[in-house]
Amino acid sequence: MATQAADSQINHADAINYWESIEASDDDGMLGGFPYISRVDIQGSKNFLGKLGVKGKKLERAVDCGAGIGRITKALLLSIATTVDIVEPVVKFSSALLDHPGIGQIYTVGLEAWTPNAETHYDLIWNQWCLGHLTDVQLVEYFQKCRKILSEDGWIIVKENMSTHAGNDMFDEVDSSVTRTDEKFRELFERSGLKVLKTELAKGFPKGLYPVRLYALKPE
């Protein structure tokens, strides 16, 4: 009997219900009860971007996809981009960013339903701890959207947990998400017409948490 694909169990309504139950005032709920990892997370992301040459002169425009309450936007993206757009389906999270300096367009919609402005091009598309809410098919479609709105010298960054379950993706009933393997991500990148220019495991996270991997992507 065939094993049910992990991503076939994803339910977007269940995921939204979970996140709507989370307190929007601080990083505790957003980081699953591990708010203290934020500093090492942000520093690791800065270091990774530095290796790509993203430092010094500010980028013109970035987008924070699955932005939550804007933790990454405030601590990282606004320091390297003049304007940061937001994609976040939970209203109470996205509304927390209204009128914040440097915030551009706010799309209160899931990544699978996001329709970017065709005339807007991004120098940096940041995806962190959010892609597990998309099925494999939706993720390929999403990456293909990202390709079309990336500036000529732009980067697509993916920073996600890695499955530790013997080469298989793992479904989490709590927030209706999937934790994928490195192999699965690479397969989906290839199907999307993206190539990996740099990748590394994040350092400094507590033992017992999933490994976290960063990917720097550009169109083939």
Residues flagged as binding site: 66, 71, 128
Instruction: Give the CATH number, domain containing residue 188.
Output: 3.40.50.150
Tokens of 42: 């942000």
Structural domain contains residue 105 = yes
pLDDT at 25: 67
Judging by beta carbons within 10 Å of its beta carbon (0-12, 13-18, 19+), is residue 146 exposed, middle or buried? buried
Domain that holds residue 197: 6-219
pLDDT at 4: 85
pTM for this structure? 0.94
Structural domain contains residue 75 = yes
Question: Would the pLDDT of 1 be above 50?
Answer: no
Residues flagged as binding site for S-adenosyl-L-methionine: 66, 71, 128
Banded pLDDT at 208 (limits 50, 70, 90): confident
CA atoms within 13 A on the CB side of 11: 9
21's CB contacts (< 8 A; 6+ apart) are: none
Mind listing the pLDDT tens digit for each residue in 56-89?
Answer: 779 999 999 999 999 999 999 999 999 999 999 9
> Total domain count for the chain?
1
Residue 71 in contact with residue 30, Cβ under 8 Å? yes
Structural domain contains residue 88 = yes
Average pLDDT, the chain: 93
